[in-house]
Structures are given as C-alpha cells and as structure tokens.
Amino acid sequence: MKHLAVVGASGAVGEVMTRLLEERRFPLASIKFLASERSVGRSVTFRGERYAVELLRAEAFEGVDIVLSSTPASISRTFSPQAACAGAVVVDNSSAFRMDAEVPLVVPEVNPGDVERHRGIIANPNCSTIQMVVALKPLHDRFKIKRVVVSTYQAVSGAGQKGIDELRAQAAALIEGRPLPSPSKFSHAIAFNCVPRIDDFTEGGYTKEEMKMVNETRKIMGDASIAVEPTCVRVPVYNAHSESIMIECERPITPESARAAWVSAPGLRVLDDPSSGVYPVPTEVSGQDDVFVGRIRQALSSDRALSFWCVADNLRKGAATNAVQIAEELIKRDAFATARR
C-alpha cells in the first residue's frame, strides 16, 4: 500500500485522476490533494470521505511514495524535482521533462519497462501522442513503420475548463444571435470553426504541439528513424481527440493484417464496419479508457501503406488514465528503489 499525492487536484485532469484512482481501486495507504493557493480550502470527495485541498509546497511531499502531477510546466519544473528529492516517484503530466534524456516517457501499452529506469520522475506524454502510439506499436512490431502522416482533430477540453467554457459561450451566442464573445483561450473563435493552431509556432512553421508528436513518438517507440508529419487542429468538440493517420511501412500491410495485429493489442479496440455506421466518434468514445480505431483501409498509393481513424478520450487515456497506469506499473514492478535525480 502506497502513500499518494495528487498535484493540481482542482484542475480538469486532476479531477479525472482522482476519479480513476477510485474506479480502479488503486491500493492506497493514504492520499492527499495539493494545489495552488487559490484552490486551498476546497474539498475533494474520495471513497466517501472529504479531503481538504492542501497548499502545494515542498514539505507536503514528506512520506509520499507516488505523486500524480498535472500542473503547467513552469510549476512542474519547481515541484516535481522537490517531490523526487523527498523520496517520491513523480508521474508528471506536463511538458517539462518529456524530452529529458534521463526521464522515461511512458505509455504502458508501448514501453512499460521504461518505468524501471526512472530517477524519481516519469513523464506522461502529450495527449495526441499517447493515443497514436498505442495504435502504432502493434503495427510497428510487425511491419516496421517508416513514416506517419497524421492530422489531429483535438477537443477543447485539451485546453482545460477555460477551453470548454469558451466553446460553450461562443456557441450559445451564435445560436441566440448575440455578438460573439472575443476569443481568449484560442487564437480564433472556436464555435462552428476549426483552428489549425495548437500552442505557439516554431521557426520551421510547425506548432509546438506538432513537434511534440514528432519527438515524443520517436522517444516512446524507441526508434529515431520514424518520420512523423503532423498537422494539429482544434475543433469545436467538447471531449475526445480524433486523428486521421496514414502509415508507410517497410513490409506490405493490409487492413486484414492490421486488424490481426490490433485484435490482441492491450488498450485498443477496433470499431470498423463503415457500411453499418460503425467507426469511432468522440461522443461515443468520451468517458472510456481505450484507444479506438476504425475506417481501416489500404492506402491508394502503396501496398505498404495503410490509412485509419483513431479516437480516444484525451482527459482519460490522453492524460489521467495513462498517468494512473504508470503508477500501477511502478507498483507491479516494484520500481521504487532507483537512483534519484
């Protein structure tokens, strides 16, 4: 039984983490909930008991074995190392440590053994990357993926509660014929619109979100040769990200052989009968922990290329579920007594 702390407990991902710990009957000796000053004093109900949210500070990590953290990267850079120094293993959901060579970047269905080489911090990947690599891993093992072309259709919940509120307010205004509220969370109005920008642009013209998919995929898959060509788009969907993916492989691949690879893959479900309207959509996937694939078809260009559609709940598998699964993997492997940062 482990002593656990949830950091960022009042945020959208923190709330889902708390719910998942309860749903999955995570083995706990104790739990505490930490957040910034503005959330101190709020209460969290967990397993029928009410817990006061405590202030996030270094002293709060004393006696804690596992920290599930979901805060902005600037906060994580301060407090995640402090928690590790106090003896905890931190599962960090921010971008702060993902590309640190000494920090494992883990998706349990893909590279679970990497949890054993942590030095006190394990990074939780970006939401759009997580669902893609869960789908890619079984295919890469059999057919050796050389190139991935991916376009994402990302829900506003990926921008937190403020993103959800902005879509709701703008949609209501448009429907009721009122002036459209000015966008604040997104660069353009999101209601009934698509915005091909998530995060800031880099010098090469790609956004930081797109470059996360490139770099994180290679690190998680353990193969720097995989070429990833991403376009990330914010769409007016409340929850669950969708991705259109085409892969090019070294060996021939067919829809039938892809299904055979996926059927026994952990954390993945195939919904693929388009003529009957069976394929994954965000409203039906939201609230579930698996990654769903459908619209599986041979690419028109090559017998070594395949196209498919991939959908997952970005707050669950794209963030909170993956973090809790990492913590479960730590316990399963008893991977606590390792070198610290």
Widest Cα–Cα separation across the chain: 61
**How many whole angstroms separate alpha carbon 224 and alpha carbon 214?**
10
Domain ranges of the chain: 2-125+319-333, 129-313
In tens, the pLDDT along 265-312 reads 999 999 999 999 999 999 999 999 999 999 999 999 999 999 999 999
**How many whole angstroms separate alpha carbon 67 and alpha carbon 44?**
17
Alpha helices per DSSP H over the chain: 12-23, 73-85, 127-143, 161-176, 208-221, 255-262, 282-285, 321-333
Q: What angle do CA 338, 85, 58 make, to 5 degrees?
A: 150
Give SS3 for 306.
strand
Among 232, 241, 249, 310, the one annotated catalytic: 241
Same fold, 2-125+319-333 and 129-313: no
Among 118, 127, 140, 249, the one annotated catalytic: 127
Known active-site residue 249: no
Q: Go through the chain and tell me how many residues it has.
A: 341
Known active-site residue 241: yes
Per-residue pLDDT, 10: 87
Per-residue pLDDT, 338: 59
In tens, the pLDDT along 95-116 reads 999 999 999 999 999 999 999 9
Q: Tell me the residue type at 111.
A: N
**How many whole angstroms separate alpha carbon 168 and alpha carbon 218?**
36
Residues near 340 by beta carbon (within 8 Å), at least 6 away in sequence: 84, 85, 119, 120
In tens, the pLDDT along 174-204 reads 999 999 999 999 999 999 999 999 999 999 9
- Residue of 288, 285, 275 whose CA lies nearest to 316: 288
DSSP 185-251: SSSS--TT--B---S-B-TTS-BHHHHHHHHHHHHHHT-TT-EEEEEEEE-S-SS-EEEEEEEEESS
**Does residue 304 contact residue 252 with C-beta atoms inside 8 Å?**
yes
**Does residue 333 contact residue 78 with C-beta atoms inside 8 Å?**
no
Give SS3 for 334.
coil
* CATH class of segment(s) 129-313: alpha beta
* pLDDT exceeds cutoff 80 at 337: no
Give SS3 for 75.
helix
241: β partners: 312
Query: How many helices and strands, by DSSP H and E, does the chain display?
Result: 8, 14
Residues near 179 by beta carbon (within 8 Å), at least 6 away in sequence: 173
- Residue of 81, 54, 51, 83 whose CA lies nearest to 67: 83
Report the 10 Å Cβ neighbour count for 161. Answer: 14
Per-residue pLDDT, 132: 98
CATH superfamily of 2-125+319-333: NAD(P)-binding Rossmann-like Domain (3.40.50.720)
Whole-number Cα distances in Å, 257 to 114, 142, 252: 28, 9, 9
Q: How confident is the model at residue 339 (pLDDT cuts 50, 70, 90)?
A: very low
pTM: 0.95
